[in-house]
């Protein structure tokens, strides 16, 4: 499979029409994804792209047929933002069967378009302004970028250093638990 060329990197200057906010945005510090840059470089130098999962096998015919059937049957509406109901129900059943854990498909399961979206949604829903977040390294480059904003402070720790950090600062999970019970 030949990847689609992601195109040139471009910087879009802020609008001067007064419509958009001139205040800093949490997204101002985001850079182009490493995967996109590696894809661009692999295409430029005719290299093997190890940054993205490009299968070296054909798509199963059952999946191709299902996709064609869906198009022919006009099944072409976007799923709701937290994922299609039947998919969430199937995931709930699978997790219960496989892990013995029960999650309600309407209130406890969300389907995202990828791991980056899932991590960002999780972080924005859990991390509060001023929180410190310990990020074990090595980690995905995007992890620290998602945490960097005026209100969030990532603490990057090599895996062996986490226990030393916890000795100095205490276990944040046990501290939160103690604070909640009092």
User: At residue 73, what are phi and psi to the nearest 5 degrees?
Assistant: -90, 10
Angle subtended at Cα 151 by Cα 150 and Cα 152, rounded to the nearest 5 degrees? 100
Q: Helices marked H in the chain — which ranges?
A: 34-44, 61-72, 85-99, 115-126, 141-147, 162-169, 172-181
Q: What is the pTM of this model?
A: 0.49
Q: Is 130 helix (H, G, I), strand (E, B) or coil?
A: coil
Per-residue pLDDT tens digits for 51-104:
777 777 888 999 999 999 999 999 888 778 888 899 999 999 999 999 999 999
- The DSSP output letter for 152 is B
Of the candidate ranges 29-43, 83-97, 119-133, 145-159, the one whose mean pLDDT is the lowest: 145-159
Average pLDDT, the chain: 75
Mean pLDDT score, 168-177: 57
């Amino acid at each position: 499979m030949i990847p689609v060329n992601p195109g040139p990197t471009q910087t879009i200057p802020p609008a001067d029409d007064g419509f958009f906010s001139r205040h800093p945005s949490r997204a101002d510090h985001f850079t182009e994804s490493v995967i996109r840059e590696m894809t661009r470089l692999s295409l430029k130098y005719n290299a093997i792209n190890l940054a993205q999962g490009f299968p070296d096998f054909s798509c199963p015919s059952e999946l191709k047929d299902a996709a064609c059937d869906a198009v022919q049957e006009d099944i072409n509406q976007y799923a709701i933002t937290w994922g299609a109901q039947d998919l969430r129900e199937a995931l709930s059943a699978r997790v219960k069967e496989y892990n013995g854990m029960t999650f309600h498909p309407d209130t406890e399961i969300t389907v995202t378009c990828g791991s980056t979206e899932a991590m960002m949604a999780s972080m924005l829903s859990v991390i509060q302004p001023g929180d410190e977040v310990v990020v074990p390294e090595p980690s995905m480059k995007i992890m620290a970028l998602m945490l960097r904003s005026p209100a969030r402070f990532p603490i990057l720790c090599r895996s062996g250093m986490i226990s030393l950090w916890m000795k100095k600062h205490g276990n944040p999970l046990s501290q939160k638990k103690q604070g909640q019970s009092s």
